[in-house]
Amino acid sequence: MIIKNYDLLINNSENVSEIGAKELILKSLDKAVMAADPKNLINDHLKLKGSLFYVDADSYDLSNYERIYVIGAGKASGGLAEGIEAILKGRIVSGLVNIPRELVQNYKTNRILLHPATHPLPSIDGVEGTRKMLDMVKSTEKTLVICLISGGGSALLPLPKSGITLDEKMKTTELLLKSGADIFELNTVRKHLSDIKGGQLVEKLYPSTVIGLIISDVVGDDLGTIASGPLSPDLTTYFDAYKIIKKYNLLNKLPPNVITLIENGIEGKVRETPKPGDKIFNNVHAYIIGNNATAVNAAKRFLESNRIKLYMQSELKGDAYLVGSALGQNAEAMAKLTENDGIARYIIAGGETTVKVLGSGKGGRNQHAAAAASLKLHNKRVALAFMGTDGIDGPTDAAGALADYKTVKKAGGRVQVISYIKNDDSYELFKKVGGLIITGYTGTNVNDVFVAVSF
């Protein structure tokens, strides 16, 4: 069980039926995370037969290459590295992946160095690891580079463009996050502050053959958005980045060097990111081997194996408060049906919401959504949870939160819950009521999952 405080969450119940419902919710979330475990995904999608390396239905004859390197970055890249090394073993000349420093001890590799870096904000450790990757690879037409990319790669694979510092890039990222920018907007800006994102990694690896093994943390699985698209042509421009900064009223708040760089890019004084049709992408083969659907479908299979009827499947997208309110209302409606006919039901949703931080509290998008949902719960026969599959929801040690009709009462009433929400202090709310879901880093990242069960 990935959820460390499972027993505490289960025991925070009034009766056997409620315990059973919460068990189903938490176990389904556990199944979701385990389905997206990178080592499981490697085994599901890759195999080696003689010199033929298979990725799904495609095959690559490794005898055609003089050197094989493994590089990459992301929250799941440690598990991916361990999995790929178990398959290719001594065929790998060398490798290096940047992963969260908290996960370095969780994996064992011999030829692939697991380099500690930081998330959600980049650090000099990540920059050093990125430079070492590029120095390591000797790019030729006989070189094969396997790139392991997963969510969190934008922060874990940093290489600021000349003219800006890492601190300036970090400040930009932080302000965009707090302003409520979605992942596409955030990465549009980050690509144009980077010397490696938006397809620029491929420029540095050309003319090598590149196989990208990718775990997606982006709704819709857009390759140009996952980890800011280091292997993909970039459809966005410096002008797009400028419009996003203007949209969130950050022109006078971001570091001047960042604005200067973007303005120089618009004027053509700084080269644009590589675009579709560039020959550098001819030898790039990208595969998404895991995504949010992987997690959601695993949770669904588990719930249905327990004879729980699907009431509704939805998507987590948009403002966390609005999404949480809507799903809480749907959960309440579902509970009324169950109250009438005795049929247990569930709602499931996957994706990622956003929060525009205005308060001074502590929380994350899943806890924020759960707080909003709790205001809609009045029926005793329903419980729900929002959880990040990476185990880290915002700048907290919680993955998400579990709520039911008692949440508001335990917190001190509706006025108090609304106060927590307005101050973006959902962590303290759920800490008070015993609803935090604690997993620690899970070693994967395929967005968020929501589950509600009526009983």
Residue 65: its pLDDT value, please? Answer: 98
Residue 119: its pLDDT value, please? Answer: 87
**Nearest in space to 265 (alpha carbons), one of 331, 324, 194, 196:** 194
User: What pLDDT digit, counting tens, does each position of 338-361 carry?
Assistant: 999 999 999 999 999 999 899 999
- State the pTM of this model: 0.89
Residue 121: its pLDDT value, please? Answer: 82
User: What pLDDT digit, counting tens, does each position of 386-399 carry?
Assistant: 999 999 999 999 99
Residue 184: its pLDDT value, please? Answer: 87
Q: Looking at the chain, which residues constitute the CATH 3.40.50.10180 domain(s)?
A: 38-290
Residue 177: its pLDDT value, please? Answer: 86
Paired with 450 in beta bridges are 349, 386
Look over the chain and give the mean of its residue pLDDT values, rounded to a whole number.
96
Paired with 212 in beta bridges are 147, 286
Which DSSP letter does residue 164 get? S
User: What pLDDT digit, counting tens, does each position of 244-268 carry?
Assistant: 999 999 999 999 999 999 999 999 9
Q: Looking at the chain, which residues constitute the CATH 3.40.1480.10 domain(s)?
A: 6-35+307-454
Could you tell me if residue 221 is left (phi over 0), alpha (psi between -120 and 50 degrees) or otherwise beta?
A: left
Rounded to 5 degrees, what are φ and ψ at 215? -105, 120
Helix, strand, coil percentages (3-state) for the chain, rounded to 5, are 45, 20, 35
Rg of the Cα trace of the chain? Answer: 23
User: Which residue reads 């030729």 in tokens?
Assistant: 140
Residue 440: its pLDDT value, please? Answer: 95
CB atoms within 10 A of CB 190: 24
User: What pLDDT digit, counting tens, does each position of 31-83 carry?
Assistant: 999 999 999 999 999 999 999 999 999 999 999 999 999 999 999 999 999 99
pLDDT band for position 120 (cuts 50, 70, 90) = confident
Domain 6-35+307-454 has CATH 3.40.1480.10: yes
**Nearest in space to 137 (alpha carbons), one of 198, 208, 85:** 208
Distance linking the first and last C-alpha atoms of the chain: 23
Question: Rounded mean pLDDT of 196-225?
Answer: 95
Residue 39: its pLDDT value, please? Answer: 94
Residue 219: its pLDDT value, please? Answer: 86
CATH H-level superfamily of 38-290: Glycerate kinase, MOFRL-like N-terminal domain (3.40.50.10180)
User: What pLDDT digit, counting tens, does each position of 131-150 carry?
Assistant: 999 999 999 999 999 999 99
CA 202 vs CA 22, 42, 65, 129: distances in Å: 46, 23, 18, 17
Residue 130: its pLDDT value, please? Answer: 98
Contacts of 320 (CB under 8 A, 6+ apart): 353, 354, 355, 365, 366, 368, 369, 372
Give the C-alpha separation, 91 to 66, whole Å: 10
- The first and second tokens of residue 197, run together, are 């994102």
* Burial class of residue 49, CB neighbours in 10 A (0-12, 13-18, 19+): exposed
User: What pLDDT digit, counting tens, does each position of 292-312 carry?
Assistant: 999 999 999 999 999 999 999
The length of the chain is: 455
User: What pLDDT digit, counting tens, does each position of 103-115 carry?
Assistant: 999 999 999 999 9
